[in-house]
Amino acid sequence: MTLASIVYEETRKSDEMPRVAGVYVNRLKKGIKLQADPTVKYAMQDFGLRRILYRHLKYDSPYNTYVNEGLPPSPICMPGKNAIDAVLNQKGYAAQKQHIDIQFEVNDLSPLQIELIDCTVVLGNLLDNAIEACLKLEEAKRRIEVSVLRDEAYADSDAKLYVSIINTSLPVHIEKDCIATTKPEPHLHGFGLPCAKELLRRNNAFYTMDYHDGAFQFCFEWPDVTRNSCVHA
């Protein structure tokens, strides 16, 4: 989500977003500072700044990507759905570069009312887990199937977001809502999974995971309402 916010502030043109996202993703992979001008404006809280000068680049702030490596501590704006799509598309491209056959099924998500930050964090973490698992397999067996569908069969007040992510994987054992393993490093699906589950619970979303015949599946059903509308137990 943080990267999506930088892309959104860098350009509002949908056709440019994938290219901009690609540049930043490559810099992150290489350990190069992002050097994104929008982060300087945010760091200085000077949103009317039209031209970034050399003296601005040295501004001391954790949000200044000319000074600090990696991403800022949090998003610098609430990005539009196009920016999120651009980053997710880039993640799909990154999977393909790892020789992973990744397929997406997505319908019209423009009416979504759920928290975009929460949704993007969940999807991002689950896709990262799927990619990690696939990389443990030989190339011919690497496959990810992603479905992100807003159910339109109900009235808007009862609409739901259905997501299913299926990836080929080494055997895993699921016990008490956790991935259990006897391996010394039990992290086959561990990166970000607790965070994703916590966000789903916080938004009253139902989720399930399963392993069968060489494939791991994580799916969830998320009520399409703002968080303030959720009733917590």
- Sort 156 into a burial class: Cβ within 10 Å, 0-12 / 13-18 / 19+: exposed
- Taking the alpha carbons at both ends of the chain, their separation in whole angstroms is 28
Each residue of 207-220: pLDDT tens digit? 999 999 999 999 99
80, two tokens? 């539009």
* φ/ψ (deg, to 5) at 162: -105, 130
DSSP 219-230: EEEEE-S-GGGP
| Cα–Cα dist 72/66, whole Å | 11
The model's pLDDT over 108-122, given as tens digits with 9 standing for 90+, comes to 887 888 876 677 778
pLDDT at 194: 82
Beta bridge partners of 178: 175
Residue 170 identity: L
Residue with the bigger pLDDT between 199 and 81: it is 199
- Taking the C-alpha atoms of residue 209 and residue 223, their distance in angstroms, rounded to an integer, is 18
- C-alpha gyration radius of the chain: 19
**Digit-coded pLDDT (tens) for 158-180:** 889 999 999 999 998 888 778 76
Of the candidates 63, 74, 108, the one whose C-alpha atom is nearest the C-alpha of residue 1 is: 74
Rounded distance, CA 39 to CA 71, Å?
Answer: 10
| Residue 233: pLDDT over 50 | no
Q: How far apart are CA 96 and CA 91, in angstroms?
A: 9
Q: How far is CA 180 from CA 3, 17, 154, 183, 187, in A?
A: 32, 39, 37, 9, 9
